[in-house]
Structure formats: structure tokens, C-alpha cells
A and B are shown apart, each in its own frame.
Chain A
Amino acid sequence: MQQVISVKNINKTYASGFTALHDVSLDIRRGEIFALLGPNGAGKTTLISIICGIVNATRGTVSADGHDIKTDYRAARSKIGLVPQELATDAFESVLATVKFSRGLFGKAPNPAYIEQLLRQLSLWEKRDSRIMALSGGMKRRVMIAKALSHEPAILFLDEPTAGVDVELRRDMWNMVRGLQERGVTIILTTHYIEEAEEMADRIGVINKGRLVLVDDKTALMEKLGTKQLSLHLQTPLDVLPASLASFQLELSADGQHLTYSFDAQHENTGITELMRALSAQGLDFKDLHSKQSSLEEIFVNLVREQA
């Protein structure tokens, strides 16, 4: 797939001496939803800010849709829309005025029909004449999105888009993001809600302490780094684990009713057959069994912990 953003060897050291990014290289593919995950202070916002032109990189190059963000900044920036993390709005302006302002700022001729469609899509049309300061936090977030989309960008950055918004709005936003992707918009989002990345993203990047730890397809990542667990609900509770089962990686629950077996799903021999035989030989019957894959959140926590 063709890349739409290319980040090469980006380093950022602030005037204070703090190095926020170490030699980060990353390609974003056209039309994908890319989730950038990382703990607070990992460098996510710095990286986005550099790509969008808000922060200067100390070293390295970035191109957006084939345009260098320094030497060809007009073409590069006109392709990008940004919804920043902070709810930074012109409190005294009306919704309609601030969205029109954004479109003009990005060099686009007025298009009242498009702006109306956008505001209706974001449930803002009825509030178009309201001052932004009179809106709820969720509505302000929608205004930020409307501003970012006002110039019809091909690339959209969403920096923690659903932080502090209610479940309904979060669902609305996910639907909107999917709709944008269907129209060919490339979306890069950072989020604290790993379930959001798990639900939405095609690919995941994990950044920690200014270093890009990994980039992979979401499903491949979960298959590669995830472990699987098999849970057995026993017919008769156990007081202790029998010695014949000690060679298996088993955990007995406190009530003695559940056995949990962890295994590597990628390994040729998962050990499940041997476990079943051993359980049968021991005369242990079970009522129910189920297996589960570790979540992206568990993978993320493990990755970040390894880096610490």
C-alpha cells in the first residue's frame, strides 16, 4: 500500500535539554487507521506536532502526501487536519464562524453547503450560532473535529479524541472515523483507551520514552505477542494441584474450581493434548472450558514494562 506520511530519523530535543524523540522513523499507509499508543510523556504529541508543523524537529525529515513539511509546507499542511488533545477553542466565537475561519485559514474558498453538511453530520448545525463557551465539553470536542475537517483534509490526526467524552459520543466518533476512512481519509490517532485502538486501528505503533518500540498490523501483533489462556471449570473443586500436573503451567483459583493454562498459540505444540490426557489420567472432569487471547492492553502493558 502506498505511504502517505513518511517520517525519517526524527529527533527532538527541547531547549530545556529534554529529548522527546530519538531517531523515530515511521511510514503511514494511505487510507489506513493507524493508532499510536504510548504512556504519558512517551512523545506521541511531540511526533504529531512535528508532522503538523507546530513543533520544529531537531533532526530528520517528514513528508506528507509526497510533500516535505519544511520545503513544501503549503502543499503538505493543506493535506492535514489536526484535532489536538487540548480543547483549545475561541470561546467567544460562534460555532459557524470558527469553522469558517478554519476553512479560510487553510486556503479554501467558502463552501456553505459543505460546512452545513459537516455541522449536521457532527450534530452541530442546531448550535451553529451558539458561542463556543456555552457548549458542553463533548460539543466542544465536536467543534474541534469540525474545524479539522473544514478544509477536507486527506490525512486526519486525532490526538486523544475521546478523552473525557461520554460513551455515546465516543461511539459517534468511531462511526465518523470509519466513515472518513471509507471516503479515503488516512487517520492517525493516539489514545489512552486501548480498546479504541483494538476496535478501530488497522495498524498499531507503540512509542515509549521517545522511541518507536514497534509497528505492526493489529491482528498480526495480537497473534505474535499475545498469549492464549485455556480456562477449565472443574466438576469437583481441588485443594491442591496434583503432582502429576506440576509440569504444566497451571494456576488453580482460590476456590479450587478453576484451572487456567497459559500457552503460546504460535507454537507448534501448544501442550493442550498432553494436558487433556493428564487431566483424564488424574480422573479430573470439567463442566466447561473456554480459551481467550490476551488483549491489546495486556500486550501494550508488557511492552512498556519491558522497556522500563
Chain B
Amino acid sequence: MNFYGIAAIYKFEMARTGRTLMQSIASPVLSTSLYFIVFGTAIGARMGDIDGISYGAFIIPGLLMLSLLSESISNASFGIFFPKFSGTIYEVLSAPVSPFEIVAGYVGAAASKSIILGLLILATSRLFVDYSIEHPVWMLAFLVLTAITFSLFGFAIGIWADDFQKLQIIPLMVITPLTFLGGAFYSINMLPEPWQSLTLFNPVVYLISGFRWSFYGVSDVNIILSLSMTLIFMALCLAVIGWIFRTGYRIKP
């Protein structure tokens, strides 16, 4: 195992975050805080509780998940896309590092950044909304699992994308709508049929529901199902990345 190689990629990626603190950390914390101010404190005060939870507290897991998904994808996709774009990928490809080590470096760094960001958002939200965490270990487990899974997904997107537009398409056109419609701001039990059943085809529902359960002990779907869906998606991402390295798709002609 080339531990120095993994560490080199990891440190390089983390250093990039250090150079772009405003964009990488401050900006998502600020924009999520705005959601808490508008929907949690201002509008939320006029709304009734959902499942016995105040609206401001109810939306915390969903909003956290929204940031976690989009940041994991964008961190990881940009991390591998930029070396392809600038041509510096030659060095990684010619180095004695295995596909696993490359993925561990890039995805590990992207997931670390997302986890740090998630914890910062969680701490910041406390300034605006009162909340509790019923299952803190599970909360952390969901946070880490989701960050890793969607960083893997972002890594695959970064390989697939051959321009900056494609890099943005999936997070903006797929992930954000799925999160908004996945119960970030409401319980899916509030939806009429057939929307309630149709919503179950949205994979983000399971992530938000499981995450919300770790906070408040209530969920839209069974916690085991949430966990299973997360692991299945992670396995899918790993399979795609494995195929990418086996075939050299868009990285090694």
C-alpha cells in the first residue's frame, strides 16, 4: 500500500480547501444559515409542528443533507476533473498508486471537507434554532456514510465530465431538485397519493429520513431501509468507479 501516495493526494486536496476557505466553507455555511433564518426563525415561527417537532428543528437534517450532498459531489468532482482539465493527471496516472489509493486520496479529502462543513453548519444552526440529537452516533454514521457515498458519486461525475457545464449538471439539475422533493422541508406523509408513493422512488428520501431519525427518533421510512439504500448506492458508485479504472474510461486512452 502506497500510504505516502494517499497522503500526498489527500493533503493536496485539503490544501486547496485551505486556499479557498470563503468558497469552500464560508459560502455554504452562510447560505444554509439563511435557510435557517428564513424558514426556521422567520416563517417557521408561524408554522405548526411536524411529528411533534418544531418546523425550524424539523428542517435541520434536510438542509444539512442538502449541503452535504452538493458539497460532497462538487468537492470530489472538481478534485479529479481539474487535473484532467489542466493535464496534471499524467502524474497521478504514471505514479505507483493503485486505483484504490487514488480514490482513497481524492474521495477521502472530499468527504473530510463535507463532514467538517456539515459539523460547522450543525453548530451554526444552533444560533438560530433549538434542536436535539437523539442518536448522536447514528447521526455521525449517516453523516460520514453519506459524505463518502456522494464523494464517490462526485468522483465518477468528475471523470465523466469533459467540460465545466457537465460538472454542474448533476448537482444542480438532479441532486438539488431531488433533495427539495425528498422531504427536506416536509414529511412525505403530508403528501397526497400518488405523490407519496412516487416519492419513494427518490433515493434522497431515504437519506433525509434516516438522518432525521438520528436527530429526533422519527422517520418517514424504516431506518434499516434508509441505511440499506445508502449502502446500496455506495456499492453502485464503487462498481462504476471500478469499471472506470478497469476500462480507463475518460482517463486513460
A residues with CB within 8 A of B: 14-15, 52-56, 73-78, 80, 82, 84, 86, 88-93, 97, 100-109, 147
**Is B96's CB under 8 angstroms from A106's CB?**
yes
Are A105 and B95 within 8 A (Cβ)?
yes
Q: Is B240 an interface residue (CB 8 A)?
A: no
| Chain A residues, Cβ within 8 Å of B9 | 105
Complex Cα distance, B97 from A54, in Å, reads: 12
CB contacts (< 8 Å) of B253 on chain A: these are 14-15, 55-56
**Sample of 17 further A-B pairs with CB below 8 A, known A74-B98, A102-B91, A107-B95:** A15-B253, A52-B90, A54-B252, A55-B253, A56-B252, A56-B253, A82-B90, A84-B90, A86-B87, A93-B15, A101-B11, A104-B11, A105-B8, A105-B91, A105-B95, A106-B95, A109-B4
Contact of B252 among A55, A75, A88 (CB under 8 A): A55
A98 to chain B, nearest CB (A): 9
Inter-chain contact A82/B8, CB cutoff 8 Å: no
CB of A97 within 8 A of CB of B15, answer yes
- B94 engages A53 (CB within 8 Å): yes
Is B48's CB within 8 Å of the partner chain A?
A: no
Q: Which of A55, A76, A88, A104 contacts B7 (CB 8 A)?
A: A104
B22 to chain A, nearest CB (A): 14
Chain B residues contacting A147 (CB-CB under 8 Å) are 91
Residue among B9, B87, B88, B91 with the highest chain A CB neighbour number at 10 A: B91
Please report the number of residue pairs spanning A and B whose Cβ atoms sit closer than 8 angstroms.
Answer: 83
Most A-side CB within 10 Å, residue of B7, B86, B88, B97: B88
The 8 Å CB contact of A92, one of B8, B19, B87, B95, is B19
Which of B4, B16, B86, B95 counts the most A-chain CB atoms under 10 A from its CB? B95
A15 to B94, CA, bound (A): 21
Residues of B near any A CB (own CB < 8 A): 2, 4-5, 7-9, 11-12, 15-16, 19, 86-88, 90-98, 248, 252-253
Could you name 5 residue pairs across A and B whose Cβ atoms are closer than 8 Å? A74-B2, A82-B91, A89-B88, A102-B91, A105-B5
- CA distance in complex: A91, B7 (Å): 20
Give CA–CA (A114, B248) in the complex, Å: 34
Q: Which residue of B lies closest to A144 (CB)?
A: B91
Residues of A within 8 A of B16 (CB): 92
Q: Which residues of A contact B4 (CB under 8 A)?
A: 103-109
Q: Whole-angstrom distance between the alpha carbons of A153 and B93 in the complex?
A: 16
Residues in A neighbouring B252, C-beta threshold 8 A: 54-56
Complex Cα–Cα for A76 and B93 (A): 13
Bound form: Cα–Cα A29–B24 in Å:
50
Q: Is the CB of A91 within 8 A of B86?
A: yes
- Across the interface, name the chain A residue whose C-beta is closest to B82: A90
A88 in complex: contacting residue of B5, B15, B87, B96, CB < 8 Å: B87
Residues of chain B within 8 A (CB-CB) of A82 are 90-91, 94
B-side contacts of A77, CB under 8 Å: 94-96
Which residues does chain B contribute within 8 Å of A100, judged by CB atoms?
8
Provide the residues of chain A in CB contact with B96, threshold 8 Å: 73-78, 106-107
A84 to B15, CA, bound (A): 25
Inside 8 A of A91's CB, which chain B residues have their CB? 86
B95 and A101 form a contact (CB under 8 A): no
A97 CA to B15 CA in the complex, in Å? 10
Chain B hits for A73, CB < 8 A: 96
State how many angstroms separate the Cβ of A248 from the closest Cβ of chain B. Answer: 54
B94 nearest in chain A by CB position: A52
Q: How far, in whole Å, are A84 and B91 apart by their CA atoms in the complex?
A: 9
Q: Smallest Cβ distance from B45 to chain A, in angstroms?
A: 44
Please, how many angstroms separate the alpha-carbon atoms of A54 and B11 in the complex?
A: 23
Bound state CA distance, A52 and B97, in angstroms?
Answer: 13
A104 and B8 form a contact (CB under 8 A) = yes
Residues of chain A with a CB closer than 8 A to B5's CB: 104-107
Contact A105 B86 (CB under 8 A): no
A90: chain B residues within 8 A (beta carbon): 12, 86, 88
Closest 6 CB pairs of A and B: A104-B8, A88-B87, A74-B96, A77-B96, A52-B94, A107-B2
| Nearest CB in chain B: distance from A258 CB, A | 50
Contact residue among A54, A97, A103, A104 (Cβ-Cβ distance under 8 Å from B90): A54
Contact in complex: B94, A101 (CB < 8 Å): no
A4 to B38, CA, bound (A): 67
Determine how close the nearest CB of chain B comes to the CB of A78; give it in whole angstroms.
Answer: 5
Residues of chain B within 8 A (CB-CB) of A78 are 96
Q: Which residues of B contact A84 (CB under 8 A)?
A: 87, 90
- B91 proximity list for chain A (CB < 8 A): 82, 102, 105, 147
Residues of A within 8 A of B7 (CB): 104
Report B109 CB to chain A, min CB distance, Å: 13
For the complex, what is the distance from the CA of A89 to the CA of B91, rounded to whole Å?
10
Question: Is A101 within 8 A of B8, CB to CB?
Answer: yes
CA distance in complex: A91, B5 (Å):
21
Output the least CB separation between B67 and chain A (Å). 25
A59 and B183 alpha carbons, distance in the complex (Å): 53
